[in-house]
Chain A
Amino acid sequence: MALASTDTVIRTGRTSRFIIYTVLIVFCIYYLLPLYVMLVNSLKPLDEIRGGGMLSLPQEWTLAPWGSAWSTAQIGVEATGLRPYFLNSLLMVVPAVAISTMLGALNGYVLTKWRFRGDTIIFGLMLFGCFIPFQMVLIPMARMLGLMGLAGTVPGLIFVHLVYGIGFSTLYFRNYYAQFPDELVRAAMIDGAGFFRIFQRIMLPSSGPIAVVCIIWQFTNIWNDFLFGASFADFDSQPMTVALNNLVSSSTGVKEYNVHFAGAIMAALPTLLVYVVAGRFFVRGLMAGSVKG
């Protein structure tokens, strides 16, 4: 493998390499341009933006739009900035991701290693749940949350995301554990380990790569969700996405584009961070697996 790739590098001539890099750079610019626009404009005073030249660097660098977006901007009727909503999102996303990943792992373990009558039907139903459009469950879910006394609260939102998340996390873990030899579980049974002990000592420690995939997926989906947040949250439990929308649409008088840009970047940062941090573990996990085989 290593030999083959050095070989290719040597054989590609200067011109072809030039073309490859040019194409790649063009794509990079294309994808990064929006981020660039957001970033530079979030660091300019409002006058500069209105003077035109969205693409130019700030003449006068300022962090004021960031401060405003974070703590003083008008969100809906109150001038609180995005801070409390950022906190809401965190309070929602962390338990929702943790619990749905844990339950997915447990489900995957049961569905592959402790099979029971009707397990494929149950798995089928969970899969089906993954593909139900969000809009369809809005009204029944609102009614359920009302009955449970969770309407308009952060725990209510956690519950909704949990219900939607378990289908996917179960799918991930089930497929991963299906390749895990049954003989390992049998050996552990003979060694004297019970249901949870096998899960905790043998299955979980080997689940790194799939857990990272699952966490990235769940985090991105739940953090970026707008529909459930807009439908089921009250003013004091709204997530970041809804607050950002309110920030952008609620300003009376002048549109503070620089503040909006700063807020939008803030809303995107956590998912970016998860990719950067967990992505590396993901690749590492994959490498470890491939070397082992």
Chain B
Amino acid sequence: MGFLDIKNATKSYGTVKVLHETDISVEEGEFLVLVGPSGCGKSTLLNMIAGLEEVTSGEIAIRGNRMNEVRPADRNIAMVFQSYALYPNMNVAQNIAFGLEMHGVVKAERDKAVQGVAELLQITQLLDRKPGQLSGGQRQRVAMGRALVRDPDVFLFDEPLSNLDAKLRVDMRTEIKKLHQKLGRTIVYVTHDQIEALTLSTRIAVMFGGYVQQLGTPKEIYDNPANMFVAGFMGSPSMNLFPAKLSAADGKAFANFALAEGGTGSLAVPDPALARHDGRDIILGIRPEAITDPDGADRNSKDIHHVEARVEITEPAGSDTFVVTEFGGKEVTGRFRADVDVKPAKVQTFAVNMEKAVLFDPVTEERVV
């Protein structure tokens, strides 16, 4: 039993099931991120934890207490909304104090709490302003202040940064992470941005189509995606996924795939057990940083293999150059050091770190190894 338990919870609107059986157990002080494309059911799950949506079946428990029938106000949670949802008729101080007032905290204590939170978030000079007189970033801080002041068991965030411009978003991301490290509170955070998920979380639940596809630490999710959806969704630029055929020789397994200029590429697969799957079709998944120029390859890897292939285009990105070629009829991106001289339409040696390769079944899209 964890601090916040989602046990076999589902949600249906009429006959449409938008959240399938979900089990997540969150420990105290964890930062759980629910990530997935729009419409996958993240907000629905968050609202079920908040009590804003009813649980169709299953259970939500906080500190071991069943919450299904408990009003949002009595769950000891606080929520930050995407639109910030600041009360337009109240000034910042009143906005932050409203929840305390509704919970019967006396005026003197409210003022003290508001002052403390305002100092923590550096918004003391804004306390007398109305939300309409604040910038987006300031509104965001006030919305967080309103949640922090309640000192709840669980903080819920629904895409809190998606209305900010890119620069501010990165700053606020760092700030949220700092706050979490400083206060050590339990957080459930919804986003569609996989970078936000990877940088903020202690654990990630990747969601798609109303299912939790994979639950794990950022490293587990990144290095060992459970299926092709997770592999493609997490990481930027995303993981290269291309079809290949397994073959066996000398007790070793090889993955073979067509190259653009004709001929076949062949890469030894680390797991020799795959040799018994001779002839099987698979999808090979390799992240761009595992496909490099030969000198830029990971020196600690025992499984660097070279493939000669024609360069389609190059995309210089400052520190690195992304080099695009074609494996198995799919575009494949490699990450070369910026000072390596690569030209389009020339044949180039690609060094592939097969230690980092993952294999998927082309039909079920699940992981093979």
Contacts and interface: CB of A to CB of B under 8 A. Distances in A.
B333 to A, nearest CB: 39
Contacts of A206: 88-89
A78 interface: no
A188 B132 contact: no
Given A191-B73, A206-B88, A291-B132, A186 B81 contact: yes
A202 interface: yes
Contacts of B78: 190
Interface string A187-202: 1111111000100011
Q: Contact size class for A?
A: 10 to 19
A206 B131 CA distance: 13
Interface stretch (B61-69, B95-103, B254-262): B95-103
A181 B103 CA distance: 23
Nearest to A181: B83
A223 B180 CA distance: 61
B88 to A, nearest CB: 6
A186 B85 contact: yes
Contacts of B73: 189-193
B52 A186 contact: yes
Interface string A201-214: 11001100000000
A183 B89 CA distance: 15
A192 B103 CA distance: 6
Contacts of B150: 191
B89 A190 contact: no
Contacts of A181: 83, 85
Interface string B50-81: 11100000000000000000011100011101
Interface string A241-285: 000000000000000000000000000000000000000000000
B102 A184 contact: no
B176 to A, nearest CB: 18
A189 to B, nearest CB: 5
Given A192-B102, A197-B102, A187 B132 contact: no
- Between B82, B102, B150, the greatest number of chain A beta carbons within 10 A of the residue's beta carbon is seen for B102
Interface string B144-155: 001000100000
A184 B89 contact: no
Contacts of A205: 89
Contacts of A183: 81-83, 85
Nearest to A293: B132
- Between B82, B89, B103, the greatest number of chain A beta carbons within 10 A of the residue's beta carbon is seen for B89
A192 B77 CA distance: 11
A81 B11 CA distance: 70
Given A187-B79, A191-B150, 12 more contacts: A181-B85, A183-B83, A184-B87, A184-B88, A187-B87, A189-B72, A190-B99, A192-B73, A192-B99, A197-B102, A291-B132, A292-B88
Interface of B: 50-52, 71-73, 77-79, 81-83, 85, 87-89, 98-99, 102-103, 132, 146, 150
24 contacts: A183-B83, A184-B88, A186-B50, A186-B72, A187-B79, A187-B87, A187-B146, A189-B72, A190-B50, A190-B52, A190-B72, A190-B77, A190-B79, A190-B99, A191-B150, A193-B73, A193-B102, A197-B102, A201-B87, A202-B87, A205-B89, A206-B89, A291-B132, A292-B132
